[in-house]
């Protein structure tokens, strides 16, 4: 998905939030906004938002001398996600279709995102997710396809929600213990996206093979994926890509194996899928309209 002018404003807003998240005083924040402004002025709209973001965040990280700009916030959001885990597990246990319920839990965590202007309350989202209507709902096709799939890939998004990704993979493991399962993470810290370190911290390797994609963008951009992950991506039977960043990088693939699962958190993505900010979406990649 190519950037729109609205994305440039969003990136500038992200720069200010990044400054505040790192305890910057006014002068430090001014310098970060200057860095962001210079980057944004040079961005081409013929690139995805995650491609632009990785450059801006890289320049901010270099200025602050800090690789992981949201290290503290990632710990806090993971702790918050753990506080609702018992409720989530109980709801899944009570559900008629446990995989559908686990997919719902997984997307509820998708509200944890430091890169969007619209913010949602995770407690409220988790409490209502199991009865919520999806604006586009192809979850049951995922449930159906899992019955015949020999391999399954879940492409992660943010820290915190990855705890519920683990729950989803555990539920799938209970039904299909012989299926090969892969959990794909970013190659290095970028915003609050999940990396190998955070995946290992919730013992993701117990339910799936953790795959370091090598990408430095806040989205699964195939041209930046390492060779091993690219080969694996092309070979698996079924793929669920979590979050808007992955959607923004993968929306033009036209791959019927790929399903996108996310909450719409900006007007640009809302327009792309023909829905509204706040809507829940589970859509097959090859059904996405032309840009």
Nearby residues of 136 by Cβ (< 8 Å), 6 or more positions away? 273, 275, 279, 281, 282, 283
Residue 241 β-bridge partners: 155, 260
Going by DSSP bridges, is the β-strand pair 209-212/136-137 parallel, antiparallel, or unpaired? unpaired
Integer Cα distance of 42 and 46 in angstroms: 12
Give the model confidence (pLDDT) of 67-115 as tens digits.
999 999 999 989 989 999 999 999 999 999 999 999 999 998 776 655 4
Measured CA to CA, the distance from residue 44 to residue 148 in angstroms comes to: 42
Say which residues have a Cβ less than 8 Å from residue 272's Cβ, sequence separation at least 6.
1, 251, 288, 289, 291
State mean pLDDT over 183-207: 97
pLDDT band (50, 70, 90) for residue 120: low
From the list 218, 211, 259, 249, the residue with the least C-alpha distance to 232 is 211
**What ranges in the chain are assigned the alpha helix state H?**
5-21, 26-42, 49-64, 71-83, 85-94, 98-108, 122-129, 139-146, 161-175, 196-201, 227-235, 243-250, 267-273
Q: What is the pLDDT of residues 2-21, one digit of tens each?
A: 999 999 999 999 999 999 99
Fold (CATH) for 71-287: Rossmann fold (3.40.50)
Q: What is the mean pLDDT of residues 123-152?
A: 94
Tell me how long the chain is: 291
pLDDT at position 110: 75
pLDDT of residue 125: 81
Burial class of residue 282 (count of CB atoms within 10 Å of its CB; 0-12, 13-18, 19+): buried
* Cβ count within 10 A of residue 142: 21
Burial of 117 (0-12, 13-18, 19+ CB in 10 A): middle
Q: Among positive and negative, which fits the CA dihedral 92, 93, 95, 97?
A: positive
The answer, yes or no, to whether residue 194 has pLDDT greater than 70, is yes
**In the chain, what are the domain boundaries?**
5-64, 71-287
Residue 291 has pLDDT above 80, yes or no: no
Neighbours of 145 (CB within 10 A): 16
């Amino acid at each position: 998905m190519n950037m729109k002018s609205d994305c440039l404003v969003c990136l500038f807003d992200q720069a200010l939030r990044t400054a505040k998240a790192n305890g910057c005083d006014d002068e430090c924040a001014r310098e970060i906004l200057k860095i962001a402004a210079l980057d944004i002025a040079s961005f081409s709209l013929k690139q995805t938002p995650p491609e632009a973001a990785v450059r801006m965040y890289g320049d901010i990280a270099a200025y602050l001398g800090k690789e992981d700009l949201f290290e503290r916030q990632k710990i806090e959001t993971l702790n918050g996600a753990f506080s609702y885990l018992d409720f989530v597990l109980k709801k899944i246990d009570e559900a008629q279709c446990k995989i559908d319920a686990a997919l719902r839990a997984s997307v509820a965590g998708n509200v944890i995102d430091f890169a969007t202007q619209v913010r949602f309350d995770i407690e409220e989202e988790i409490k209502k997710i199991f009865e919520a209507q999806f604006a586009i709902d192809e979850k049951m096709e995922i449930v159906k396809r899992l019955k015949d799939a020999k391999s399954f890939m879940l492409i992660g998004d943010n820290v915190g929600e990855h705890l519920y990704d683990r729950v989803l993979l555990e539920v799938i493991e209970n039904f299909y213990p012989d299926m090969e399962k892969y959990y794909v993470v970013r190659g290095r810290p970028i915003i609050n996206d999940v990396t190998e370190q955070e995946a290992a911290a919730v013992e993701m390797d117990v339910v799936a093979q953790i795959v370091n994609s090598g990408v430095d963008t806040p989205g699964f951009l195939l041209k930046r994926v390492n060779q091993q992950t690219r080969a694996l991506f092309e070979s698996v039977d079924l793929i669920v890509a979590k979050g808007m960043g992955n959607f923004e990088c993968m929306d033009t693939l036209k791959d019927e194996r790929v399903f996108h699962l996310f909450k719409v958190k900006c007007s640009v993505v809302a327009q792309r899928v023909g829905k509204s900010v706040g809507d829940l979406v589970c859509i097959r990649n090859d059904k996405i309209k032309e840009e």
